[in-house]
Chain A
Amino acid sequence: MFSNTLFMLSAALTLGGAFAVVYSQNLMHACIYLLASLFGVAGLYACIGADFLAATQLVVYAGGVVILMLFAIMLTGGTGNKINRYGLEKVAAMGNKKTYFTAGFAAVVTSLIILKIIASVLRAQPSKELAANQVTVEKLGTLLATDHILAFEISSVMLLGALVGAAIISRPRKEKHD
């Protein structure tokens, strides 16, 4: 019952957040809605026994990504002028009817793809007993340190690179032409 309730709540949060991200006209709000949606996903994880993942989701997204985005939004929207020196609006409008129409088209096409897959999946779904949820932390830990140790290592390379790269790119210092 609890899990059902959690699922319902999480699903609602996820979908609601996602839809809000789509239609919100304020970037800051959209970002917050995204956070909500991600929280919902974390709840969905929790419902099916992915406890560690749920936690990571909360930590990484809430603590990391969304905050980063908020920073970025603030960095880019900051100064009073709405118009830059090229006469362009600095912070773009979120979209208009036309773009939504195009997006809708794209979404319809995408759903054609995905529905095809999902329909087949559901048709071919084997009915089998679901195992009880277990604590996954230890297993995941073991897997990460054994079978997937390489991925673990390489992701560190990737993160290092991303770190350095992000630093290089966004360092506000103007480079001299040389």
Chain B
Amino acid sequence: MHGLDLLSWILWMPIIGVLGVLFLPKDNAKAIKTWALVNTIITFALTLVLYSKFDPTVSGMQHAFNVRIPWIPQFHIYYALGVDGISLPMILLTGLLFMLCILSSWTQIKKSLKAYFALLLLLESTVFGVFMSLDFFLFYVYWEVMLLPMFFLIGVWGGENREYAAVKFFLYTFFGSLLMLVGIVALYFATNQSPDSFNILALQGGKFTTQTLSLFGTTVSFSKLFFIFMFIGFAIKVPVFPFHTWLPHAHVQAPTAISVILAGVLLKMGTYGFLRIAFPIFPDSAKYFASAIAWLGLINVIYGALCAMAQTDVKKLIAYSSVSHMGFVMLGLSAMTIQGVNGAVLQMFNHGTSTAMMFFLIGIIYERSHHRWIVRPDGSKGFGGLYTQLPIYSIVFIIGMFASMGLPGMSGFISEALIFLGMYEKFTTITVLALFGLLIGAAYLLWMFKRMFFGEVNPEVKEYTDMTKLEITYMIPLCVAVIVFGIYPSPILNIMKASVGQLVSLLATF
């Protein structure tokens, strides 16, 4: 098909939305919102079309969708897009969450609507770009451009300490991505600037196992050094301990929709980076560092969970829980077995839905209470008796909470179980320790739930109203997702398994 193909449509549709928002009059809030919503719905519909046309038996990139147009021929840089089983779940998730985020922002955002929706749509496009790029340069561009809207979305529409959080988020990520940039360019020369130097697919397969370079007078393995570089770049995004501290700040300060995007999609970009780039390009080093990654993942799980338990701000608690849950993804990746990696990818998707639910819910209550204290700094209860006052909200909260906890029958369980199954034989000790992460994970969520929802109704809480129709509307798809994929994960697993299998068999040969 000449002209734009499906992937490009998905990629550029939000940009059309951005332009539309920019041309709409500033005062017509409703038109802006509606336009943004329609745009995201179309985008999501396009991702569903992509899903329907996807051939789950193909292990590599789906040739039907591949795009490869020269961009900077001199450097062999292409506008190359593609989709495979690892990226498709992420694309679907992105399309879904952004659509819901527009709805969630409907009433919550009151300041500079126009800029907000323009930036949100821009963010959507960049996220798609990251998940679709097959050209390293393009990938990097999207990876970095993503920072811009995020910076402003946190910084302008965030909480009281938003600037600090935004700057921190920016600098952290920027630091990591610059190391990645060095890695990208190094790869460019390691392939002797061949026409495939920036082609992510062509770089894959462990072509750099024997190369070395000298750094500070010592000989270093090329593969190991740049694996570490890429690892740091992606690990910051995940975030892997000890690069995690931007996350609580960013989450707490960001407005609801942005927290959702951040936790739901952006964190996945890090692990997606491992799957798409770091592991396939440096499989030997990935193997070499597997146990280190596993230990880091374990630290993430336990450390994040323990820190979450100590939080008195519910959003911060969920932020730390993201640290913990992404630790499971890292564990799954480090296992490098089909169970583990499939589990990790599934966990990426599931965490995207469940944590999005949690952040939406916190946003909903925040809109009513304008605080998020479980326990106020003076020791009194911040909430209490929400269950009595807001029954629908509570039930949705329970669903989200248990999905996040990994209750069987909810989506989180399957992925966590697969991850554990995948890693048990390789890292028994780590598995045993990581299991306690599940325990603590349940503890902090339930404890939080108990303190917020049980007991007598606080006088303040009496004034809260239950979820509005709009809020229910955007929670329903997520509720459905966490339950349906908990019972029947095959729709997601089927599309990813071939691609994951390919990756695992590649790793197995090293």
A and B touch in the complex (CB under 8 A): no
